[in-house]
Structure 1
Amino acid sequence: MGPQCCATIASDIYKHLRVSEANKSPSSDFMERIQKDINASMRAVLIDWFVEVAEEYRLQPDTLFLIVNYIDRYLSGNVVNRQRLQLLGVACMMIAAKYEEICAPSVDEFCYVTDNTYFKEEVLQMESAILNSLKFEMTAPTAKCFLRQFVCVVQATSKVPSMQLECLANCLTELSLLEYNILHYSPSLVAASATFLAKFILLPLKKPWNSVLKHYTLYQASDLSDCVKALHSLCCNCCNPNLPAIREKYSQHKYKFVAKKYCPPSIPHEFFQELSN
């Protein structure tokens, strides 16, 4: 099979994922519309804890994004009280691990990470409720799934520090998980915006978007403006002592210390203008 054929298949897969993400996305207003007892900051604290657990158990990055997708989709249609929010999260983690991991932790381990707050039976009952609520549709294109493709495009076409770009784009995309308001943006748009912002932070004098990225992502620079600014704001204010996990994770050597990178306080307006070519 020639490279031309592979490129066509990759393009078709990407277009399919873009259609699929619309069907597998949570609503962006479930806190206001459905939930009575939980709020956006409780959700953020829960996800911050998952980042820590995922590091401890060395879970795949995709698992973390699937956990959040399942939580948000469940909360989009089911009222959950705050005492059961962590139970929902642990059951979502168990489902995502079974789906994504080669060797998923056992239900006992999931009970253990909550200091045995929940019995095994409770976790299994919640797992069943989630699977039924989501109609067993566990495949979902997450921002991580799109980001992997976009980072490869940048690495192949730009003079940018390869590993730093990958780690920084991942860090920004994980930060987006904490922010409930980012649900207004589709996963592919978040991934494209994280790629744009990571390039900007590493090469602040160079226009981050180009015709190659526009071609592969199907987004123009102007499409990204609002989401990039939202991610930029998260990046500039990511010192929240209540949500330390992502900053601590990406301050490690294995992630190239990218959380310590200087983030310029503003992005030139012309970087969002359309490309002339």
Structure 2
Amino acid sequence: MTSNEPVLPIQHPNRDVNQKNAGQGERRNRRALGDIGNLVPVPTLPEIGKPQPQISRPITRTFRAQLVANAQSVVDKNIKKPQETEETPKRKPKKPTKSLTSVLTARSKFACGITTKPTDPINNIDESDINNELAEVEYVEDIYKFYKLSESEGGITDYINSQPDLNAKMRSILIDWLIEVHRKFELMPESLYLTVNIVDRYLSMKTVPRRELQLVGISGMLIACKYEEIWPPEVNDLIAISDNAYTREQILGMEKAVLGVLGWYLTVPTPYVFLVRYTKASVPSDIEMENMVFYLTELGLVHYTIIMANNHSKLAASAVYAARCTLNKTPAWTGTLEHHTGYSEDEIRECAKSLVGFHACASETKLKAVYRKYVNPERGAVALFPPARSLVAEGGGGSL
């Protein structure tokens, strides 16, 4: 062998075999991918009889649920429901059998003329407002119980005899004019009822000369609007609508005097708060019913005798009763209304008769502010409705 010849490495015949065996040994020691739960076998369906191919993707809870649902649907399709045949008898529900005692008792009552009348159910008028936070369903009953207890506090006393320059007719003319002003300014109904309350309470405590009666009315409306309205009328508007009868200083001075006499006590339960609740209790209630109730109530506001003889809650309940009679609602007075108002039909009948009497002659009186307000089609023209026949024959009323 010469030095120019290449030297070949010596090859051992078992070297490749040993290396191959060594590699297999390493693979045996390595954990196979299929052993870590990545491949999940599908359960064999007994109805199909063949195992499903394994899924080569990671399984999730949603995918597992889908597999089970698919398998169950296949099972349901293969299961045949037993068909009903005409020979299969159908079970009939058993009728409740009455005992001999109940049958004999019923026959005895019928023979004696004793019949059990179904009681008038009390409707849950707040059921539809459960999710309305402004309705205060949890506290509304307690609120109105408090209103009933507090409506006599700071109330109105019979003051006409203690007013040497005033009489009931003058007071009616003032209230009729305030209703007209309220309509022209398009104010909230709360403002009107609070205005009348302020005027009557002030006249109950303070002697007022005749020339200042309208000034008391204007100042009372200004106070009520500041309390109830978002945008109350300005003093200049009140001066203009009173035909410049009073100056700005006189109106503001009377406003201060009224608030001082009343002790700034303005949070009072007026008829309006009771009207809202009692109209809601008049099931079913609609816009026609609502307009009729407010029409009859405002007719009562004009008349001094009605205000003196009935507190606010009774006036509101009587207006609802008279409105139901006018619109031919049957029954005229329900258990739901008696429960929420606290008045029976006999307790409010006399006041309702008077309101219906005012309704009967509303178009003929000299004071027509309420009539003109509710003859408008926007308020259902309820002033044109015929008065309640069941009450007008017995009722009083009168004209001014």
What is the TM-score when the length of structure 2 is the normalising length? 0.63
Q: 1:264 matched to which residue of 2?
A: 388
Q: For 2:204 and 2:318, how far apart are their aligned partners in 1? A: 25
SS of the aligned residue for 2:343 comes to coil
Say if 2:292 and 2:382, in contact at 8 Å, map to a contact too.
yes
Q: For 2:137 and 2:244, how far apart are their aligned partners in 1? A: 49
Q: 1:7 to 1:215 in 2, by over 3 A?
A: farther
Q: Matches of residues 1-277 of structure 1 in structure 2 within 5 Å?
A: 3=130, 6-27=136-157, 29-32=158-161, 34-154=162-282, 157-158=283-284, 162-183=286-307, 184-203=309-328, 206-267=330-391
Deviations 1:183-219 (A, max 9, x none): 2101110001000010110016x33101111111111
More helix by share: 1
Q: Which letter does structure 1 place at the counterpart of 2:153?
A: N
SS of the aligned residue for 2:231 comes to coil
175-184 or 259-268: bigger deviation = 259-268
Q: Which letter does structure 2 place at the counterpart of 1:256?
A: G
Q: CA deviation at 1:51?
A: 1.1
| Bigger relative CO (Cα 8 Å, ≥ 6 apart) | 1
Q: For 2:269 and 2:169, how far apart are their aligned partners in 1? A: 25
Q: For 1:268 and 1:64, how far apart are their aligned partners in 2? A: 27
Q: For 2:142 and 2:324, how far apart are their aligned partners in 1? A: 26
Deviations 1:21-73 (A, max 9, x none): 1113211x2001x1011111111111111111111110111111111100100
Q: What is the number of equivalent residue pairs in this alignment?
A: 261
Say if 1:48 and 1:246, in contact at 8 Å, map to a contact too.
yes
Q: Which letter does structure 1 place at the counterpart of 2:325?
A: F
Moved over 6 A (4+): none
Q: For 2:220 and 2:339, how far apart are their aligned partners in 1? A: 35
Deviations 1:157-202 (A, max 9, x none): 23x6x11100000000111110100121011100010000101100
Alignment RMSD: 1.9
Q: CA deviation at 1:6?
A: 5.0
Q: CA deviation at 1:138?
A: 0.9
SS of the aligned residue for 2:144 comes to helix
260-269 or 186-195: bigger deviation = 260-269
Q: 2:76 matched to which residue of 1?
A: none
SS of the aligned residue for 1:200 comes to helix
Q: 1:72 to 1:268 in 2, by over 3 A?
A: closer
3-12 or 218-227: bigger deviation = 3-12
Say if 1:45 and 1:242, in contact at 8 Å, map to a contact too.
no
Q: For 2:325 and 2:388, how far apart are their aligned partners in 1? A: 9
Q: CA deviation at 1:119?
A: 0.7
Q: Which letter does structure 1 place at the counterpart of 2:143?
A: I
Q: 2:18 matched to which residue of 1?
A: none
Unmatched 5+ stretches in structure 1: 270-277
Deviations 1:118-141 (A, max 9, x none): 010011110011001101001111
Q: CA deviation at 1:262?
A: 0.4
Say if 2:325 and 2:390, in contact at 8 Å, map to a contact too.
no
Say if 1:238 and 1:247, in contact at 8 Å, map to a contact too.
yes
Q: For 1:7 and 1:234, how far apart are their aligned partners in 2? A: 36
Q: For 1:194 and 1:51, how far apart are their aligned partners in 2? A: 18
Q: 1:220 to 1:268 in 2, by over 3 A?
A: farther
Q: Which letter does structure 1 place at the counterpart of 2:144?
A: Y
Q: Which letter does structure 1 place at the counterpart of 2:303?
A: E
Deviations 1:62-117 (A, max 9, x none): 11111110010000011111111000100001000100100001111111111111
SS of the aligned residue for 1:22 comes to coil
Q: Which letter does structure 2 place at the counterpart of 1:92?
A: G
